[in-house]
Amino acid sequence: MNSKIQTLLERAAAQSSVSSGDTSSVANAARNFSDVAEAKKSFDRFKRKLFRVERWNADSGLSSFELFDENGARQAPEASAKRGDFIRITLTGSGKSDWVKITNIDEQRVDEIVLTFQPTYNPTEESANKTVTSHFFTEDSSNNFCLQKTNEAVKIYVIGLNEKSNTHDTNNIIETARNVATANLGHYLGIQKAEWTTFCENFLTSDN
């Protein structure tokens, strides 16, 4: 069976090599263990951690994460994420929170797992408009959180695809400017990639 992570990395490389409105980003980290058995044990532990989204707060630098169920109800801090759940992400200094939905969980291989998030509407709003994307990227973009075991090593990737500023689903000109600024800062000044790199490195080293 082909590696889903390798396919995502190839797509990211292809997007970064062409001139279009869409871009990609890749952050990653790796940790080596003494033997295959220890790597397998750690992979299983990190896999459980990957599903407990609110534990990510201890590993992030500028972002905070909150998990909500498919109906927009706040989940308990130790709840495990599942397909259809929502996550509220707040990037310090960005001006507002952004929403993503877990659209896919790929566990077809025993040595890797991929959680795919895509920008979505705010499910906590009364009479939420499901056609309005509450995120600085458009609904076509995705962030793929990938965990992989290869021999004595465990690797984590955050792979962003089809990343384009959301200048359509905004309430006013201020929010439009905010979305453009946040997306551009992430790409051209490296803030977003630096944030995910910090997350990846901390994820594999912390014991929370």
pLDDT at 19: 55
pLDDT at 16: 80
**Helix, coil or strand: residue 196:** helix
The CATH class of the 4-205 domain is alpha beta
Structure tokens at 46: 């990190």
The widest CA-to-CA distance across the chain, in whole angstroms, is 55
State the first-to-last Cα distance of the chain, in angstroms, to the nearest integer: 32
Q: Where are the domains of the chain?
A: 4-205
pLDDT at 162: 79
Can you say whether the dihedral through the CA atoms of 173, 118, 124, 76 is positive or negative?
negative
pLDDT at 136: 61
By the 8 A CB rule, do 31 and 156 touch?
Answer: no
pLDDT at 177: 45
pLDDT at 86: 95
The position carrying tokens 């075991």 is: 149
Strand pairing partners for 165? 137
Per-residue pLDDT tens, the chain, 208 aa: give them. 689 999 999 999 998 876 555 588 899 999 999 999 999 999 999 999 999 999 999 998 778 899 999 999 999 989 999 999 999 988 766 567 788 999 999 999 999 999 999 988 888 887 766 676 665 677 778 889 999 999 999 999 999 887 776 666 545 443 444 445 454 544 433 556 778 889 999 999 976 6
pLDDT at 85: 97
pLDDT at 173: 40
40 burial type by CB count under 10 A (0-12 exposed, 13-18 middle, 19+ buried): middle
